Homo-oligomer: A and B are copies of this chain.
């Protein structure tokens, strides 16, 4: 069941008004990570709540209590739960989005005021939150506007969950989802999250997998204070010598993880899966262009894409406590903490991989024969996720994408983590679809964040069409 042609025409005709709506949203600097802007996130919650009500959504703003940031206790901005449609013969789709944004200021290097949506002549709509994640949220409101104005019943029931703390680890959201599982979210059949990006700038995409994460700090200490390398060099066990030696034993130059058992948890790709990677509209040139250097680990496209999407990876991020400034300081740092993380893929779990890491580090540390002491801390973890991409939720999105974009979407997995995905998948136990609106070069957390006008407008059509296709595919 394609979306009504009248709806699609309406979206085109309302383009300026829809951009105006996004402009209003961007103008509220709802930066969740800066205490000074916290009232703006609350204002944004109120503004969005009113927008939803104006297009017929029943809402409630939910107080999520307080949290501590930089030693200050702050109120968590209220989340918004919404519902429209109660037809028990229809499927119920839960839509998630977040109305908070990353920090931004002109002095970071923006060409324009980040909180004034600026339309470039090439079609880019530039502003903080334009693509992450206000554009997609406004897309949903745009869809509802037509149905509300024309009194057209939606093809599905919709449940909304919009939060204002996504850029702050979604503080409070997990509890909310658990609490509302059998209340507000009761009867949800599938989830749709539009909060990531196409692989490239030309091909729409559906995302069915995310890597998980274990992030460690490997600390070595020994001296009671920082020492002078002239006075103590070659008299004591230096923590940096031990740490660098251990860090060098984690991953090789080809990206292979040297911790026994970690890579072994992943089986080879079957023919059907391999075909997915070979079909993706993404080349080695795309990878290297995005990285800004001719540094791909392989000349084989599927190998490189599988390195990102279906294999674990280990990165060394840096060292806390060592000398990091410019110049030539002759210090022997007393305590150094090496930061490294492993991206996980199913069937890996943070618990299983952490155990392998601990066993290996303990064993390698013992081999050093140093008198320094070692501590390994898990700073962060997230489970990996892979959805069934043959589910009707994905089929609906694929058909909708083909209808709007006349292209088969890339069926891809993200290398990074989007924790809320796990929250919904595991708490509600339904299929979750990541349906990106923006392009791979939108610069979500960077300066000059943008969404292209065509992505915003066609994306609005896509979201609406997807709902109609869900109604069809779910029955099939």
Q: Is the CB of B224 within 8 A of A311?
A: no
A276-296 interface code vs B (CB 8 A; 1 in, 0 out): 000000000001101111111
Q: Which residue of B lies closest to A237 (CB)?
A: B295
A358-383 interface code vs B (CB 8 A; 1 in, 0 out): 00000000001111100000011000
A255, A293, A307, A341: which has the most chain B beta carbons within 10 Å?
A293
Smallest beta-carbon distance A214→chain B, Å: 10
Known: A244-B247, A320-B324. A234 touches B339 (CB 8 A): no
A85 an interface residue at 8 Å Cβ cutoff? no
Known: A295-B223, A333-B318, A379-B327. A232 touches B371 (CB 8 A): no
List of B residues within 8 angstroms of A321 by Cβ: 324
Q: Is the CB of B241 within 8 A of A244?
A: no
Q: Is the CB of A291 within 8 A of B227?
A: yes
Q: Is the CB of A253 within 8 A of B248?
A: no
Smallest beta-carbon distance A32→chain B, Å: 16
Q: Is the CB of A236 within 8 A of B287?
A: yes
Q: Is the CB of B330 within 8 A of A324?
A: no
A66 an interface residue at 8 Å Cβ cutoff? no
Q: Is the CB of B317 within 8 A of A229?
A: yes
How distant is the Cα of A294 from the Cα of B222 in the complex, in angstroms? 7
List of B residues within 8 angstroms of A227 by Cβ: 291
How distant is the Cα of A368 from the Cα of B248 in the complex, in angstroms? 12
Closest 4 CB pairs of A and B: A224-B292, A230-B416, A233-B313, A318-B323
How distant is the Cα of A290 from the Cα of B370 in the complex, in angstroms? 18
Q: Is the CB of A315 within 8 A of B215?
A: no
Q: Is the CB of B315 within 8 A of A339?
A: no
Q: Is the CB of B318 within 8 A of A415?
A: no
Q: Which residues of A contact B (CB under 8 A)?
A: 211, 213, 215, 217, 221-225, 227-238, 240-242, 244-245, 247-248, 251-255, 287-288, 290-297, 304-305, 307-308, 311-334, 336, 339, 341, 343, 368-372, 379-380, 414-417
Known: A236-B296, A253-B245, A311-B234. A320 touches B316 (CB 8 A): no
Smallest beta-carbon distance A333→chain B, Å: 7
Smallest beta-carbon distance A51→chain B, Å: 31
Smallest beta-carbon distance A39→chain B, Å: 25
Copy total for this chain: 2
Partner of A235, one of B211, B253, B296: B296
Q: Which residue of B lies closest to A317 (CB)?
A: B323
List of B residues within 8 angstroms of A254 by Cβ: 369
Q: Which residue of B lies closest to A414 (CB)?
A: B230
Q: Which residue of B lies closest to A368 (CB)?
A: B253
Additional A-B contacts beyond A228-B415, A295-B371, A317-B330 (9; CB < 8 A): A222-B291, A222-B295, A229-B313, A231-B308, A233-B313, A233-B314, A318-B323, A318-B336, A328-B339
Known: A308-B231, A319-B318. A241 touches B251 (CB 8 A): yes
List of B residues within 8 angstroms of A369 by Cβ: 253-254
Smallest beta-carbon distance A111→chain B, Å: 17
Q: Is the CB of B230 within 8 A of A415?
A: yes
Q: Is the CB of B294 within 8 A of A371?
A: yes
Known: A317-B331, A320-B325. A248 touches B251 (CB 8 A): no
